[in-house]
Amino acid sequence: MNDTNYAQLAKEAIRHATGIEPSASPLLTSLGYHLTIHSQPRHERLMRLGFEATVAKLPFSIRYPITNLMKKIRNPKSTVPIASMKDLFGYNLVRDLIKNDIPKFFYEGSKGVIVLTHDVDNLVGWNMLPEALKDLRSRHLPATFNFLTRADYPLDYTVLDRLATAGHEIGLHGSTHDIALAFRSEASILQTLRRGRTALQERPSGFRSPAFSVSHALFKALDGAGFVYDSSIQVASTFYHSTSFPFPYRLPGFDLIELPLTFNDDMVVRDAPLSDQGSLRVFSELLDDTLAVGGVFVANIHPHNLVGRMGLYESILELVQEKKSAGTRVTTAGQIVDIFGSRLAQ
Ligand SMILES: [Zn+2]
């Protein structure tokens, strides 16, 4: 893509998200660059492919602790600076544009959007589902659950039916937790995605890549497999290239809509790591900043991280419920993408 294409991408993304037509500026070119797909650097791609060729062949129960160990090696001091929205390029660009106006956004009337997603990575997470569902039900909050189709938990269709009946969304998180999925051939990714959808009875319209691996081939394959959205690019990751833009948007050349992830619980529970109170503070700050520009706050909470931390989950849900009472829309990723998609079609 050249500078004109980057600027065009950013201009459309801002217009569709905020209703404001930004005037031409070099800042748009920079934002467009942020929004495009940036695959992980070569050394990380090779490391992940190597991991999948060796450790991933081991039983799931062993594989998971080794993955955590690798992350400890990457982050030995276990202290990761957590990005603030106020430091983000795209966020500030939007904030300057909307000034203090009441944002007039694509989802009409609501003061921003909250989407709660849950990546079910393993049996521990699967076993936490009843507790998480109970807490969501008592607060009337819908959520998205992304499943693996060949992990160490059984895909019990009665559980999936119950989820869907309760108004929750079923998304795909992959087959095994292949952390190098996006670095495989497009044909191979396509096969994984098609099999995954079939295993989930064609229910998923959305995808979250295991360990956030992204590439052009992945996005092409998602389009080919009929997915409507991807939610694997982050808004403010410490490790990976981030959009810095807390809104959905469409990449040129794809049908797929990108719904970037704003909050990943691993960041506060594992990488930083913070106390429950500290984690809640980070969640709350990112949420408030996102809602201040009428953005879409997409949180990922791994059910396996809830073991011994149900109190944190409940505090998060209480906060979400408070925002909902104050006029913020709480919905599934699929629903907000549908609303956004119909706006794009206008
Ligand atoms: Zn995962």
Cα 195 from Cα 209, distance rounded (Å):
15
The answer on pLDDT for 202 being more than 80 is yes
Between the CA of 34 and the centroid of ligand 1 the distance, in Å, is 23
- pLDDT, one tens digit per residue, over 217-244 is 999 999 999 999 999 999 988 778 899 9
Between the CA of 332 and the centroid of ligand 1 the distance, in Å, is 18
**pLDDT value at residue 259:** 98
Between the CA of 174 and the centroid of ligand 1 the distance, in Å, is 9
Between the CA of 208 and the centroid of ligand 1 the distance, in Å, is 8
Q: Tell me, what CATH number does 76's domain have?
A: 3.20.20.370
**170 SS3 class:** strand
Between the CA of 224 and the centroid of ligand 1 the distance, in Å, is 22
Between the CA of 10 and the centroid of ligand 1 the distance, in Å, is 29
Between the CA of 71 and the centroid of ligand 1 the distance, in Å, is 13
**pLDDT value at residue 156:** 94
The answer on pLDDT for 62 being more than 80 is no
Cα 133 from Cα 76, distance rounded (Å):
34
**pLDDT value at residue 108:** 72
The answer on pLDDT for 308 being more than 90 is yes
Q: How much is the CA Rg of the chain, to the nearest whole Å? A: 19
More confident residue, 112 or 82: 112
Between the CA of 119 and the centroid of ligand 1 the distance, in Å, is 5
Between the CA of 293 and the centroid of ligand 1 the distance, in Å, is 29
Quick one: pLDDT band at residue 78, thresholds 50, 70, 90?
Answer: low
Helix 3-18 / helix 333-345 crossing angle, nearest 10 deg: 110
Q: If we measure between CA atoms, which residue out of 1, 4, 5, 11 comes closest to residue 245?
A: 11
Q: Which residues have a beta carbon within 5 Å of ligand 1, which is an ion?
A: 119, 121, 210
* Count of structural domains, the chain: 1
Percent of the chain with pLDDT over 90: 75
Supply the DSSP string of 147-203, one letter for each residue.
Answer: EESSSSS---HHHHHHHHHTT-EEEEEESS--TTGGGS-HHHHHHHHHHHHHHTTT-
What token pair was written down for 67?
Answer: 């993955």
The answer on pLDDT for 77 being more than 70 is no
What token pair was written down for 318?
Answer: 């209480």
**pLDDT value at residue 18:** 87
What token pair was written down for 146?
Answer: 């992304």
Average pLDDT, integer, range 203-220: 97
Q: If we measure between CA atoms, which residue out of 291, 280, 174, 282 comes closest to residue 232?
A: 174
- pLDDT, one tens digit per residue, over 139-186 is 999 999 999 999 999 999 999 999 999 999 999 999 999 999 999 999
* Residue ranges making up the domain that contains 317: 3-345
Cα 175 from Cα 181, distance rounded (Å):
10
Between the CA of 150 and the centroid of ligand 1 the distance, in Å, is 13
Q: Provide the 8-state DSSP code for 299.
A: E
Quick one: pLDDT band at residue 317, thresholds 50, 70, 90?
Answer: very high
What token pair was written down for 152?
Answer: 């160490």
The answer on pLDDT for 193 being more than 70 is yes
Between the CA of 311 and the centroid of ligand 1 the distance, in Å, is 22
Between the CA of 26 and the centroid of ligand 1 the distance, in Å, is 36
Whether 307 and 269 have beta carbons less than 8 Å apart is answered as no
Q: How many residues does the chain have?
A: 346
Q: If we measure between CA atoms, which residue out of 202, 146, 142 comes closest to residue 172?
A: 146
**pLDDT value at residue 269:** 84
Q: What is the dihedral of CA 264, 167, 213, 27, to 10 degrees?
A: -70
Average pLDDT, integer, range 247-253: 94
Between the CA of 108 and the centroid of ligand 1 the distance, in Å, is 32
Average pLDDT over the chain, rounded to an integer: 92
Between the CA of 29 and the centroid of ligand 1 the distance, in Å, is 32
Q: Which residues contact 160 (CB under 8 A, 6 or more apart)?
A: 147, 170, 200, 201, 203
Between the CA of 61 and the centroid of ligand 1 the distance, in Å, is 14
Between the CA of 346 and the centroid of ligand 1 the distance, in Å, is 35
Between the CA of 209 and the centroid of ligand 1 the distance, in Å, is 7
Supply the DSSP string of 133-150, one letter for each residue.
Answer: HHHHHHTT---EEEEESS
